[in-house]
Structure 1
Amino acid sequence: MSPPASSREVILDAAEAVVLESGAGHMTLDAVAAWAGVSKGGLLYHFPTKEALLKAMLERFIKQIDETRKKKAKGLKKGPGREIKAFILSNADRDPKKEQIGSALLAAVAHDPRLLQPAREAFRRRLTEFMQSGLIFKRAAVIIFAVHGLVFSELLSLSHLSIKERNDLIEELLHLADG
């Protein structure tokens, strides 16, 4: 039997559920507290402001992406391109729930760029990891920016790539990761 989820995690789950059910614009502290089954005071104990809640959601989102990347890496051959290939593959997976939450977080950071700090730190950490694994800066940066471009263009519904074109792009990025 799993231990009960912490109140903090229950609140974060509720915030995601509100976003998925009603959209980011309806994610109020009252709505999240009601969904989580906690008092507003209980929510405010963990997240004193909506911005604190959004920042925690973004941090958890980044952590989940990193965990997916680590799982993907375990299935890949060891070598200099292993970590960045796992990064490519983990971002290439389409997950409607993840995309909807990502879109909501993107909208939130558009209103408060200070919320981007966890994403900035994750970007720098990943770039450093990929370079430490043997990739040169230019190659690692090109791949990261290409992957982020693909992800953001899909989040914003800008990409009109066919499935084949998208798969070809992913294959080219994987090839580039090989050096």
Structure 2
Amino acid sequence: MITAHGARASNRDALLDALEFIISEGSVHDVTLDGVAARAGLTKGGLIYHFKSKEVLLHALVERMRLRLHAYCVDPTLDARMALKKFLIARIHYAFAMGPQEKKIMANLLAAASTYPSLMEPVRTMYDSGLDGLARVADTAGLALCVWTALDGFVLLEMLGVRHFSALEKEQMQATLLLLVEQQFAAAAS
């Protein structure tokens, strides 16, 4: 039996790392199974063991990115109100800390979704579960939706190269969003 820390798990991660690199340096159109396997130092057969197609490989990368965000922003040990507050604050910090490489990977994966619509499923899952969480904290749901949507708009504008905000603009937006969250949760608590 091979555990999560065994060779197969690390080969899977190496393949996803290789895919991320290829996408960050070029585009999804540059991705071939042979190229990913070579970049990871594995055979194409080793890649096929883990990922049966380019679509499955891309889907796994989207899912891995979703899980990273989830691990950063979600704390299942907190009650619904504090979990939502932590989620929003962490999501604000995450959005403003994203580097150009991560944004390029996301932009390329978004472009790939026109060819591989299944790539949007993990994203839909993230939104559906997040909206379920908002429903449990009704008095802050409006603010939470606004903050979440504003963050996605900010990331999308930068990701697609529509607008690159200055460091000062980013600081101002981040501070304002954090203040709104703190004020809403302080008002809701009293």
Shorter-chain-normalised TM-score: which range? 0.7 to 0.9
SS of 1:81 mapped into structure 2: helix
Matches of 1:135 and 1:22, distance apart in 2: 44
Tell me, yes or no, if the aligned pair for 2:84 and 2:133 is still in contact at 8 Å.
Answer: no
Aligned sequence identity (%): 32
Matches of 2:65 and 2:83, distance apart in 1: 27
Q: Which runs of 5+ in 1 are unaligned?
A: 72-77
Q: CA RMSD in A?
A: 2.4
Larger radius of gyration: 2
Give the partner amino acid of 2:52: P
Deviation at 1:80, TM superposition (A): 5.7
What TM-score, normalized by structure 2, do the two folds share? 0.79
Counting only pairs closer than 5 Å after superposition, residues 40-59 of structure 1 correspond to structure 2 as 40-59=44-63
* One of 76, 86, 90 as aligned partner of 2:90: 86
Counting only pairs closer than 5 Å after superposition, residues 88-103 of structure 1 correspond to structure 2 as 88-103=92-107
Residue deviations 1:95-119 (CA, integer Å, cap 9, x gap): 2332222122112113222210000
Residue deviations 1:12-67 (CA, integer Å, cap 9, x gap): 11111222334332111110011112221221121111110010000001111222
Residue 19 of structure 1 is matched in structure 2 by 23
Residue 74 of structure 1 is matched in structure 2 by none
Residue 66 of structure 1 is matched in structure 2 by 70
Matches of 2:74 and 2:131, distance apart in 1: 15
What TM-score, normalized by structure 1, do the two folds share? 0.83
Tell me, yes or no, if the aligned pair for 1:80 and 1:135 is still in contact at 8 Å.
Answer: no
SS of 1:149 mapped into structure 2: helix
* One of 109, 113, 116 as aligned partner of 2:117: 113
Q: 1:56 to 1:135 in 2, by over 3 A?
A: farther
Matched length: 173
Q: Which runs of 5+ in 2 are unaligned?
A: 76-81, 185-190
Deviation at 1:131, TM superposition (A): 4.7
Matches of 1:79 and 1:156, distance apart in 2: 30
Give the partner amino acid of 1:58: V
